[in-house]
A and B are shown apart, each in its own frame.
Chain A
Amino acid sequence: MSSFLVTHDLKTYFPIYRGAIFRKEIGTVKAVDGINLQLCKGEILGLVGESGCGKSTLARTIMQLVPNTEGTVLLEGRDLSSLSKNSVRAERVNFQMIFQDPYASLNPRMTVFDTLGEAIQIRRKLPKRMLLEKVALLMNTVGLPANQMRRYPHEFSGGQRQRIAIARALAPEPKLIIADEPVSALDVSIRSQILNLIANLRHRMELTMIFISHDISVVKYISDRIAVMYLGRLVEIGPAADVVERPLHPYTRALVSAVPAPDPERERKRQRILLQGDPPSPMNPPAGCPFHPRCQFAIDACKVSRPELEEKEPGRLAACIRVGEI
């Protein structure tokens, strides 16, 4: 298993300033705080966590849209964080993003042909006729009729727009696609269409993808492995079905248990783990395990030192000292 994308101890801190004239740094938000990840070619990694836990910042740091404070991002062995600005720009053609809101992520004044054509030409300039062919091919790939390429985004429904956004991400033949909540804004019946499309494309085109979502059932369906983030750190990572069905970390347990299942029988029987309060502020995270103030299994040792992400079972890592006991 060769690692395609590796992040090593990746940290992204944002300084907080106060005062307009005598600007003073009063603290830092540790949005991404020491992430070690490995991604293989053709793998889909699901990234879950509550809002503000740093999922999107991690994705942006990997793409070098936000510079990292420490650590390295290696794509096929090359360190992106040490490249110059221009080289990063050139490198970025290898990354594409799919965003949550297809109403906001497409330029309303560009036709589908303009949008896709531009994305194709990032990689290489093509004569008009070949470009037309390529756009038509792309539209077919994502299940849109090619004769609609002269239309504007407002002429399409939400689901179709998300198909255009996916086509745009595929256009420059990227090495890595980051999908940031790509189906969260869609209705149930449309959502399953888009998920099927992504699942189908990844087999046909061997896509490598980081799939960010807060919806665990969606992530379980689409990804090979799931990484769970809490306050800028990974607390658990492992094969998708295992993480959802037998979570190791108490936070993952709570997260899975909070998702209401569409089954009234099961809902009535099950004991829900209710977390107390909101996630703590990433500006001054609690000492020790960042989850201990909300954790029902916390003991004194949890308040002392921060547990490292360790292999607890073959292929499964968790950052909790009590995994075996609880």
Chain B
Amino acid sequence: MALLEIEDLRTYFYTRAGIVRAVDGVSLSLSHGETMGIVGESGSGKSVTCYSILGLIPRPPGKIVSGVARFDGIDLLSCSDRQLRAIRGKRISMIFQDPMTSLNPYMRISDQLVEPLLVHEGMSRSGALIRAVESLEELGIQDASTRINLYPHQFSGGMRQRIMIAMALISRPEILIADEPTSALDVTVQAQILELIKQRQRELGTAVIFITHDLGVVASFCEYVAVMYAGRIVESASTNELFARPMHPYSASLQQSIPALHQKGQPLYTIPGMPPDLTLDIEGCPFAPRCGHAMAICREQRVALKEITSGHGTACIRFQRGELANTPLASTAAAL
């Protein structure tokens, strides 16, 4: 049974420029211990999806227009603040991109680490401190018992992100949401941090939702992937499937635009145009204006995500009708 099940989530922002449909009909399901990647470019709605289920959307201007998010029999979108507070930070916790802005610069690491234990588990301060030191040691921070008394600025970026992870995992959550946790770090440190999250995940059996724009990170870290574009999931599949047999022109183009795959001197593949303006109500497929395979039908009706092979779903109508199954999706490099 799914641990978390999101159905038809719509989060809109009511701004002066109009209604921004940041998340527009997202359905996801996450099982125990699983690692799910959400990839997409900036503005595709990957973070807003996760903020929505944790009740972290600023209201106003944001509003969750529709949807349910079932977690252990509770609908996270309609439950009381009190119920949500008991879940957030205890059973579902989150790591953010920039560890410097998400740690409190005025508080010692120790005070920040024990807070979830004091609040959620009613532990004594001394007991909580022992557990906090342990949790730092588990993340490879040496001299944890003395360094726990330092302030965030006394640590390097990689160390701060370790502290964030320790803090997120200290209450042994069932779900960890990691929002671009390594994007601000060097690749060498990124490799360390990913390895640590993986290791702790195995030990604790935590399910992880991993938000990223880096397909490389997805390939090395996630079992399942959902590709988001313009507030919708356009393709979802196991990682192997997605890279071996992409079933949406957008996912295929993303893979094509990465320089690692290219011969030198050859121009990189580029997706023509720009992501759509989310204040407009998009009738058909949001990717159609940039898609080399778009036909009249793509612009006419909204297409829901549909499973084609087991566990592999696409929101491309031409794929659903079997018209693109054997075509190379993004073979011609666009001109400058």
Contact = CB atoms under 8 A, between A and B. Distances in A.
Interface in B246-291: 253-255, 257-262, 264, 267-271, 274
Interface stretch (A172-180, A184-192, A296-304): A184-192
Interface stretch (A111-119, A129-137, A252-260): A252-260
Contacts of A159: 274
Interface stretch (B112-120, B126-134, B185-193): B185-193
A51 to B, nearest CB: 6
Given A264-B239, A264-B240, A195 B268 contact: yes
A40 interface: no
A179 B45 CA distance: 30
B220 A260 contact: yes
Max count, chain B CB within 10 A of own CB: residue among A187, A189, A216: A189
Given A193-B270, A196-B270, A254 B188 contact: yes
Contacts of A122: none
Contacts of B17: none
A261 B260 contact: yes
Contact of B270 (A192, A262, A272): A192
Given A187-B42, A195-B259, A264-B240, A275 B264 contact: no
Nearest to A260: B216
B156 interface: yes
Nearest to A48: B187
A275 B192 CA distance: 7
Main secondary structure on B side of the interface with A: helix
A262 B253 contact: no
Interface in B90-121: none
B219 A191 contact: no
Nearest to A51: B186
Interface in A153-194: 157, 159, 187-193
B19 interface: no
B28 interface: no
A197 B254 CA distance: 18
Contacts, number: 120
A197 B268 CA distance: 10
A157 B274 contact: yes
Given A191-B257, A192-B269, A240-B264, A275 B216 contact: no
Contacts of A143: 336
Given A217-B259, A274-B195, A189 B271 contact: yes
Contacts of B213: 187-188
Interface in A239-259: 240-241, 254-255, 257-259
Instruction: Specify the main secondary structure of chain A where it touches its partner.
Output: helix
A218 interface: yes
A262 B187 contact: no
Interface in A209-223: 214-218, 220-222
B214 interface: yes
Given A189-B271, A195-B268, A196-B336, A263 B191 contact: no
B205 interface: no
Interface in A25-62: 50-51
A313 interface: no
A264 B217 CA distance: 10
B187 A264 contact: no
Interface string B180-216: 0000001111111011000000000000000001111
Interface in A126-158: 143, 157
A265 interface: yes
A220 B220 CA distance: 21
A89 to B, nearest CB: 35
Contacts of B274: 157, 159, 190
Contacts of B158: 278
B220 A267 contact: yes
Contacts of B194: 260
B144 interface: no
A50 B188 contact: yes
A214 B191 CA distance: 14
Contacts of A187: 41-42, 213
Contact of A214 (B187, B218, B270): B187
A199 B259 contact: no
Given A197-B336, A241-B264, A189 B257 contact: yes
Nearest to B242: A264
A262 B264 contact: no
A82 interface: no
Contacts of B189: 50, 278
Interface string A88-115: 0000000000000000000000000000
Q: 9 shortest A-B CB distances, which residue pairs?
A: A260-B216, A221-B259, A187-B41, A217-B260, A192-B268, A258-B191, A192-B257, A262-B215, A267-B220
16 contacts: A157-B274, A159-B274, A187-B41, A188-B215, A189-B270, A192-B257, A192-B259, A192-B270, A193-B270, A195-B268, A196-B267, A196-B270, A217-B259, A220-B260, A259-B187, A260-B194
Interface of B: 41-42, 156-159, 186-192, 194-195, 213-221, 239-240, 243, 253-255, 257-262, 264, 267-271, 274, 336
Given A188-B258, A258-B190, A272-B191, 7 more contacts: A200-B267, A214-B186, A254-B188, A255-B188, A262-B219, A275-B191, A278-B156
